[in-house]
Structure 1
Amino acid sequence: MHPPQQQPQRPPAPTLQYGPPPGQPPMGPPPGWRPPPPKERLSTLNFVLVSIGAVFVVTGLIIVLIRQTASTSPSISASPSNTPSGRMEVAKPTGPQGRAYVAALKEIDPGLAVNKDRAIRRGIAICDRMLNGMDNSKYSLPEYVVLELSGGHATINEEQARQVIQLVAAWCKAA
């Protein structure tokens, strides 16, 4: 067997010392050092020009928004209204009208008439859209009807939606 080898000893690592050596005053900046110059500020003229530009941009945006709102908002008609918001209240179908409506829905798609109360409520919602408009909706009335009535027990297409609109129009009127 070999005798155990000894590892060579290394000298201790020097310790890092922060700041001046002991007993000496703190060190200052090196000779000839000056602080950086202050950052240039906008001159008064530049400030005024930027401010005026900002006012023009904001004014232009306000004008565009006003024009868009004016062109897309529905005009107020002189038709009678029973609500403070200017919307017409929708009359519910009478008993015989409701029964005829639900029976006709069953002919279009039996799933539309599974819940008679829900069928009437949805018909009233469609009537409201017919009388008061689509409230800036991205959907046409037939598309709205498809979305309103499809799901659950029935799925209808736009042709069936047009048939439903004709059924609702038979009893739909302002209250």
Structure 2
Amino acid sequence: MTRGPVRLDVAISYAVPRAGIPSPLSFRKWVAAALAGRIREADLAIRIVGAKEGRALNHHYRGKDYATNVLSFPAELPEGLPEGVRMPLLGDLVICAPVVAREAKEQKKPLAAHYAHLTVHGVLHLLGWDHEDEREAECMEQLEREILAGLGIGDPYRL
């Protein structure tokens, strides 16, 4: 685990009207919480999209023909860097606003808390966490619970 402050460069872009969607400050706070103690510096982008763009990206990159709540695109380091040299570029997150709003309503969760959870979830994917099997899923979900609890947000998996 790394100690000390994290240097973050988080670019937020909104491809949908911002009404009801958290501010860039909120997204940066959630990213910082997910990275705290795990990485010293990071550059990443978060794009908030509508259903059409979310569906197109999910179809293109995952072969799934529907919009999903969050997509994570870890950065691929350019070839030719000496071994051990790391760039701070972490990757990109795409969050689909209509899906997040629908899920929050269906699950009776505060919208901001659901955005926080999906941001933390996406950042953990950028760091290499996954949930492909039951054990990985349990570990990742527990880490999400701990990070969110530190933000004053309850267990996102408790419906």
TM-score w.r.t. structure 2 length? 0.30
User: Which is greater in Rg?
Assistant: 1
Q: Which of the pair is proportionally richer in strand?
A: 2
Q: Which of the pair is proportionally richer in helix?
A: 1
TM-score w.r.t. structure 1 length? 0.28
